[in-house]
Structure 1
């Protein structure tokens, strides 16, 4: 098909994709690890997210998803803002804590509150405050889009800063200069 040829508008019926095969596909797709925190009606709320993506640079927007079955879903569905903290390679235990159900995820954590009221994990050097602008129901999840209003990336200028934490095939890894592949 040539670049100027029109796209076909014929619709084919959607076929169900096997959920296990779909999950297995994405388990082998590396993802950066972040923690989303916000102020809920009963105090701070937070969860681990490996679905954070950059959506736009000008203006800056990011997005992530959360399962509707998550204990954090209710607070996130009504919040107006949140903080997304990007984890370093030595913060896998923090990721596990915020992915664990039925515990006080903020217990024994250093939390700083931004002037705008959102809780921020004080031991995380890279984070972005976002104003939540869109929520889209997508299957059993909620896709959340946020406009970045403030960010800190203390490791950006430090070549000795820890590498980012990455999750792939149900295990944690690090993304650093040693893992670089030259083309």
Structure 2
């Protein structure tokens, strides 16, 4: 079986950086299309109403201190509020939460139209009910990165509704190649 040829970087001025030419946007999308990501929804309120968006970029950085990172597109309708928010709620979703993930990913929809679906913490942040888990975080840093902003956040408190034992799949929700997937026993690869 022949291996595909490596992608050759474009050499035009728009993609040239200090390290040489970069991949085209299309080549970069192709690269990550086969790399699944866990699904989260991020909520915040900087004082003028709540916002929410679905993200697949949430990643833990450190357990002590408890830090995580995520990125959002500067084109997101939530970007302006997140640029000012001091705290955020990161909801870590599983397959039972796929409708909420779809809501956060849809443009032009009021993500808080159903008042039965969310409430506010005593500290004011909007939090969705019945999700697998959520964590309230203080935003400790922001970095411009191309057309996105990378956020660093310190975990302050959390709630886990559907815990999983070590080594179990727990109906994890992942986004892969433009579709939602549930991890389960059928997707487990046993160590030999």
Higher relative contact order (CA 8 A, sep 6+): 1
Structure 2 residue aligned with 1:141: 148
Could you tell me how far 1:16 is from its partner in structure 2? 2.1
Structural RMSD (CA):
2.1
Structure 1 residue 152 corresponds to structure 2 residue 151: no
Could you tell me how far 1:158 is from its partner in structure 2? 6.9
Gaps of 5+ in 1: 1-11
Gaps of 5+ in 2: 1-17
Where do 1:28-177 residues align within 5 Å? 28-108=34-114, 110-157=117-164, 163-177=171-185
Q: Normalized against structure 1, the TM-score is what? A: 0.87
Misfit runs of 4+, over 3 Å: 157-162
Is this contact kept in 1: 2:169–2:184, CA < 8 A?
Answer: no
Q: Normalized against structure 2, the TM-score is what? A: 0.83
CA distance in 1, matches of 2:136, 2:78: 18
Is this contact kept in 2: 1:114–1:120, CA < 8 A?
Answer: yes
